[in-house]
Amino acid sequence: MRAFRLAYDGTDYYGYQRQPDVPTVEGAVFDALRSLEVLEPDAAKPAGYAAAGRTDRGVSALAQTIAFKAPDWLAPRALNGELPADVRAWASADAPADFHATHHATRREYAYHLYAPPSSIDDERFAAACDALSGQHDFHNLTPADHNTERAPTLEATRDGDYLVVTVTAGGFARELVRRLVSLARRVGTGEASLEAVDRALAPAPLPGHEGIPPAPAEPLVLTGVEYSDPDLEFDVDERAAESAREVFETRRVERRTGARVAGEIAAGVRGRDRSDE
């Protein structure tokens, strides 16, 4: 078995898990493996294949982890040769024959980059909501899943300029849970809801429709870490592959900053014209 770390920009994908007729990260990985003749054309997936998480549409990753039976020559750089530019393998590890990338993960970490200028939110209230949401709870009101909703996350928020970076860790997560946790904490932080809203969300009774907590937008969310308990599972960074990843994502960073600058100039110009018409 061979395990790989993947980084990807989820903006243009309908999530990680393969779906018919829409682009997914997993679909791109399988296409690359077919091009490399690692995966047979008629095979559904590689032997022993599993992934650490099924990120939702628009969610990105730094450390998505996949594993499958792979030939010795399949290094991250070889995989990158057939992957689209926004999906990059950057490290790999030899794994035990019975290794399962999903079931053997002991800790997963997500980071949510919440745009929250200090003038729009009370950091102390936000932190209090994060504290109240941390620990063992049944989160049935904060996920569309109808089973396996008991989790024990830890939420921590760090101020970074106009952003609150919310780090959420747990052994595993129910569907949309991270984004709904952030959404509820934001409501408390802005004063849209009191801290009692957290108690209501964690109570056994279902929330009425008007009190439901929608998920925060997907694009600011990144899967930043996946840990395994096996001490022999050591990932080696493929420097050439890692450099390719750095180049790709640095280029995207510049492109988006430029796009934001252009959008800002247009917004400022429209405001100026509005004032001139008064």
Q: Which residues are catalytic?
A: 56
Beta strand pairing call for 221-228 and 60-68: parallel
66 forms beta bridges with 4, 51
- For residue 272, CA distances in Å to 235, 264, 267, 269 come to 54, 12, 9, 5
Instruction: Supply the DSSP symbol for 119.
Output: G
Contact 202, 139 (CB under 8 A): yes
Cα separation, 83 vs 77, in Å, equals 10
Tokens of 265: 């100039």
Residue 136: φ, ψ to 5°: -75, 120
Backbone angles phi, psi at 133, to 5 degrees: -85, -15
Residues making up the chain, counted from first to last: 278
For residue 258, give both structure tokens.
Answer: 């430029």
Three-class secondary structure of residue 127 per DSSP? helix
Q: Which uninterrupted H or E stretch holds 247? A: helix 239-276
